Structure 1
Amino acid sequence: MPALQMAGVARVVLRYLERLVTHDAMFRALGGVRVWFFTGLAHSAAGGLGMRRAGDALARLVNDVEALDGLYLRIIVPGLSVLMLLPILLVMLYHESAWALLVLPLFLGVAVVLPWRAAMLAGDNATRASLAMAGLRNAALDALSGLREVKIFAAEGRMLAMVQARESAVLGAQRELAQRVSRLNVTGFLLAQTGILLALLIGFISGPLAAVVAVFVLTAAFEAVSAMPRAGVLLGQSQAAAARVVEAAEAGPAVADPARALPMPASHAVSFEHVSFRYAEGLPFVFENLSLQLPAGSRTAILGPSGAGKSTIAALLLKLAAPQSGKIKLGAVDVAALPAEAVRSKIAYLSQSTHLFADSIRNNLLLGDPLADEGQL
């Protein structure tokens, strides 16, 4: 009895420690993924999100990263259980009766075929659901950020209808997946019960003891793989989420550094020579054939209404965007031939929208130059 009591207590303690370690490792991994994603997004969208909406970026940072949290506990562990259980079940069934091996295809259907099908369905659905969720977030952010204009033009009803339409798309995608997964779960349950019934019939032919053993063994085996269809769903969702996260984080900067960079010039004079720029193919040009001289030490104010291109000039100078034609020179050197970090280290830029993170002022300043000492700060 003492040994059984110790074994029971040890099982509980070991289960707790296993969950503690695995959850801690998963939370640390997700934290690392979020930092890696944000770092990649900061490099690829230093001048703003461009054609990627804020709601889409938020959905990737939150929903898609969170979709990876069950990778170990709900996908890898059940998958390893199947790999370990399959040879054991094969030997035990063959030992009882060769006829019992007829149950094996039913077991493989629950453990392999249904999860594979669930992963395929969930992968297709996850892409649509993610796009729908991004659309919902975009609609909500647009309504909130433009709330003043919405009220001025009495567009509350139209904005609410847009949000509700996007919400319906999200709920529709979720409902579609739930219905398909429910059908797979019912199929898995029927396969398991059919397998147990078949083993029972074979066991009665071989003898009552074999029937009892077969029922208990197969009940335990099917119970062990009952989570596999759900694991297949999570696998499909995780694959789709990982693809979206990687696509956004590894998009690369909008303006690539030159293969052979030139040294930084001593002069700080800036010149735009016949520069034309637009943000995307098919959109109108912000300006065409722009020429501008900014001598070193001079002060120049560029005035104009919103959308005239004032911020675009700053973005081009900082290599956050590249012109379709023309040259931008720092001194006598085209900035296209200079490393972006070197160019930005020579230019101070105060944007209209300033973002402060929930941290100390020192750590916020270090985002601009991680190697800055106390004097520079």
Structure 2
Amino acid sequence: MNGVTGRMGYRQHLVRSLLALREQGGLPLRDGSRLWPEIVLVGRSEAKLREIAERHGLTDWTTDLEAALARPDVSIYFDAQVTSEREKAILQAIDAGKHIYTEKPIATTVGGAVALARAADAAGVRHGVVQDKLFLPGLRKLKRLVDGGFFGRILSVRGEFGYWVFEGDWQSAQRPSWNYRSADGGGIVVDMFPHWHYVLEQIFAPVRAVTALATTHIPRRWDEEGEAYEATADDAAYALFELDGGVIAQINSSWAVRVHRDELVEFQVDGTLGSAVAGLRGCRFQHRAATPKPVWNPDLPVTHSFREQWQEVPDNEEFDNGFKEQWEMFLRHVAEDAPYTWDLWAGARGTQLAELGLQSAREGRRIEIPELDR
């Protein structure tokens, strides 16, 4: 596990996924045995690795990635590093014959992402990319509505994501400073468009064109040491995505917005037979037979609550941590050839959308998305 000293790598992948699997006695396999993940922590900071290892009773850690990849008892390489370091490390792991599981974006360019996917295919290793938002309870409920034909013909998807990330001067920032430096692989387009790609592709339809405007609303921020720096990466993006079947998706992403909605991300889906609004955990819907008939009249006050006219989609199942569920799927994929959909090619398509989104923003035009050449 490379990159567990970072927030996401530590909290979601180490603690809430692999350590949680160990706490439940390992992962049950079809033959009745249990897979027990032996964890090797890899990173650049010896002090941080030692502290994490001691906190959780782990003994196997190193700052030498090459030595870790040379070990015959290591079969899977996982990467949660900063984006700018990921491509080189994954290629090292592929060359060492390791199966690959990685956060996204998998590379800083679509050319690099395709090269990784081709290398993994040629090496015959299993490979997967984290697609965590597909496992959010709210989006799973939304997909249940889509698969059940609730919407009829889907017309549009509207997404709102983001929150105010403090500049770092009078209150510390909630995100690391590299996120706001383009040279370090930062930027909200590079970060979030790969997410929007798999959400749209897997729940609705493939994305065929993008029109985007990316901007840096906050040009000056303060880093972890309190030093001011120039924010060279975009912190907000406003995009239109054209999907197969005529579906139009509009998604706003911003780290410079104050939240006035129920959750940090929400998607509204409108169709001929009904609509739904999904967040991280909840999903509300309104059938066409229960749709009110508003009339625009600014001279009279609104006498009813539009929100109260929507119903909640029931849970109907218990939802585990989404990162843990996807780890279980990938481990079964490696151990017993269970199916796994989200490979490095899926990651490459996400990187492609981010790259073309930035091109659209630079050139001020609509960009069609070609099929990737394998």
Which structure: greater helix fraction?
1
TM-score bin, normalised by smaller chain: under 0.3
Bigger radius of gyration among the two? 1
Which structure: greater strand fraction?
2
Q: TM-score, normalised by structure 2?
A: 0.21
